[in-house]
């Protein structure tokens, strides 16, 4: 009788430990992925602020497209064209911040804000966890003029 109780208690303890350890492992992995995604987005911010194509390439998958609506018409630009908007050595005055990140397994979505001198951009990134780490695989953007008190 005592042996059955001990076995049952041991199984109950092991079962409880297993249930408690899975969320802890998932939370730990989620935290690691969150930090890695933030690092990828910082590379993107560095690329834009300092016209640094090497930083962009650390963040953006080569097949990424920038997508936006121009006067109500769907438009997309590949990365080589996008990189052409930046002139080497030019520093761009801007304030960039991560607004949100949502992760599910090997996919994530991030919302960022980039405020320049005249316009504020809101970008939505889709990221995938690939063999070489997290990469932005899609960028959808909108922008508006910065309101001034003049």
150 residues of the chain, pLDDT tens digit each: 556 665 555 544 545 545 454 444 445 566 799 999 999 999 999 999 999 999 999 999 999 999 999 899 999 999 999 999 999 889 999 999 999 999 999 999 999 999 999 999 999 999 999 999 999 999 999 999 988 765
| Phi, psi (deg, nearest 5) at residue 132 | -95, 15
Residue 113 and residue 2: Cα distance in Å, rounded? 64
Distances (CA, A) of 65 to 7, 100, 117, 144: 58, 21, 25, 20
pTM value? Answer: 0.78
Is 99 within 8 Å of 111 (Cβ atoms)?
yes
């Amino acid at each position: 009788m005592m042996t059955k109780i001990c076995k049952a208690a041991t199984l109950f303890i092991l079962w409880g430990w297993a249930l408690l350890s899975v969320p802890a492992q998932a939370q730990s992995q989620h935290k690691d992925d969150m930090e890695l995604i933030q690092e990828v987005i910082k590379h993107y911010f560095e690329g834009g602020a300092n016209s640094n194509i090497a930083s962009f390439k650390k963040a953006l998958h080569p097949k990424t497209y920038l997508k936006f609506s121009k006067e109500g018409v769907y438009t997309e630009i590949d990365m080589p064209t996008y990189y052409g908007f930046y002139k080497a050595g030019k520093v761009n005055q801007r304030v960039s911040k991560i607004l949100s990140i949502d992760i599910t397994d090997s996919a994530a979505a991030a919302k960022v804000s980039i405020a320049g001198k005249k316009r504020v951009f809101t970008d939505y990134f889709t990221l995938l966890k690939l063999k070489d780490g997290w990469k932005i695989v899609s960028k959808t953007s909108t922008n508006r003029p910065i309101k001034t008190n003049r």
